[in-house]
Every structure is written in C-alpha cells, then in structure tokens.
C-alpha cells in the first residue's frame, strides 16, 4: 500500500537539492497557489452580465449573475419576462447555486493537492479546474434555453413572442428588446486561474520528472 502511494505522490525533494535549486521547486507551487487565489476571489465577483435595452427603460436594465445569487434590475426583468411567459430568474439553477461555493473550495483543495503530488497524477487534480469555466457556461446555456423554449402559454403576451434561445454571449433580440450578454470579472478570474494552473503543470513537470525518472532507474 505504501509503495503504491509513493508511486502516486512521487519522490520527495532532497533538502540539499531544494536549497541548491529552490526556484525550480518553488515555481510550480507558486503558480498553482495563485490559481487557487483566483478561484477563491472569483466567488465574490459576478460571472456573467446581461444588459437589456427596452423602449420604456432609456438607461436599459442590467443583471449580474454570481455563483450564489443574482443582482441588479432583477425585479424589473422578471416583470418583463412574466408578460412573455418566462419563469423568474430565481427559479434557475437552484441546486447549482446551493453547492457552488463548496464546489469551488473542492477545486481549490485539488489544486493545492497537485503541489504535493510530484508525478503526472497531478494533472488529474488540475483537470476539474480547467473544466469549470466550460461547465459554468454550459449550465448557464442550459437554463437560458430551458426558460426561453418553455414559455407559459397563458402569459399576456405569449403570442407576441415565439419560444427562443436567449443569447449567452453577444447581442440578441427578443421582440422589441435588445440584449447584450457577456462574461464578467469572476469568470475572467477563473480563466486566469486556469492559465496559471496550466503554467504550474508545465513547471511541475520540469521540476519533478527528473526526480521521478531517477527514482525509477
């Protein structure tokens, strides 16, 4: 069991080599740790933003989507959506919002774990972080599509707007309304974290593969 565990976590760095070439072993840890910081900070930032331009609202309406909640002109947009038969924004992704913070914390722990694993198995600990941005956009698209294609047939203006798929990025049009959707600071932080994690893996390989090869020879 111990031998198998050592095969997974890899060889430890000899103290003399650590002192002699400290930057080599510090760099992957630093980059992966910065990736963790980006993930944790992103929790407090909006991931997605929608701006709606309507004739009765000259300044437009906007909504910001965080991992756990939604802010902005939510009531006004829900009111407009009600007339065309779309559900309230609060009804979307209830499960995802309830577990989102825990999920990010798990990703952070996995990234920190990759700093301790000195073999190629570290890649498996980083992959969930790299998938996360795509998972967020995919889940967002799922809910927008589900809401847009399942309009309430008894809504006052149901016949004025046909079922549609809201635009997840860029400009879109719903009846007389124009929408502009874009990712926001939280999403950019996660993407930055992914870039740092990939760089961390690169330097991780440069640092620890020679040790692993030496241990196997």
Comparing 22 with 53, the larger pLDDT belongs to 53
Q: How many domains does the chain fold into?
A: 1
For 48-86, the pLDDT digits (tens) are 999 999 888 888 999 999 999 999 999 999 998 888 899
Question: Please, are residues 157 and 84 in contact by the beta-carbon 8 Å criterion?
Answer: yes
Nearest to 190 by CA among 45, 24, 7: 45
Q: Is the dihedral of CA 131, 134, 137, 140 positive or negative?
A: negative
Strand partners, 72: 63
58 lies in some domain: yes
71 lies in some domain: yes
6 lies in some domain: no
162 lies in some domain: yes
pLDDT at 25: 87
2 lies in some domain: no
For 154-206, the pLDDT digits (tens) are 888 777 788 899 999 999 988 788 999 999 999 999 999 999 999 999 999 99
24 lies in some domain: no
Most confidently modeled range among 7-11, 38-42, 77-81: 38-42
- Which residue range is the domain that position 93 belongs to? 29-205
Assign 176 to helix, strand or coil: coil
11 lies in some domain: no
CA distance 40 to 38: 6
22 lies in some domain: no
């Amino acid at each position: 069991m111990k031998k198998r565990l050592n095969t997974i976590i890899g060889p430890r760095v000899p103290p003399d080599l650590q002192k002699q070439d400290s930057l080599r072993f510090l760099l992957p840890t630093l980059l992966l740790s910065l990736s963790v910081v980006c993930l944790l900070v992103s929790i407090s930032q909006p991931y997605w933003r929608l701006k709606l331009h309507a004739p009765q609202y000259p300044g437009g309406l906007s909504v910001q989507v965080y991992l756990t909640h939604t802010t902005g002109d939510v009531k006004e947009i829900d009111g407009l959506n009600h007339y065309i038969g779309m559900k309230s924004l609060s009804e979307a992704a209830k499960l995802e919002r309830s577990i989102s913070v825990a999920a990010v914390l798990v990703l952070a722990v996995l990234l920190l774990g990759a700093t301790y694993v000195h073999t190629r198995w570290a890649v498996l600990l980083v992959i969930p972080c790299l998938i996360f941005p795509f998972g967020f956009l995919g889940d967002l698209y799922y809910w927008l599509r589900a809401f847009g294609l399942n309009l309430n047939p008894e809504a006052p203006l149901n016949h004025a707007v046909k079922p549609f798929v809201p635009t997840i990025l860029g400009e879109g049009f719903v009846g007389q309304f124009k929408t502009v959707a874009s990712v926001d600071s939280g999403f950019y932080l996660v993407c930055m974290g992914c870039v740092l994690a990939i760089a961390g893996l690169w330097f991780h390989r440069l640092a620890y593969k020679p040790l692993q090869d030496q241990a196997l020879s």
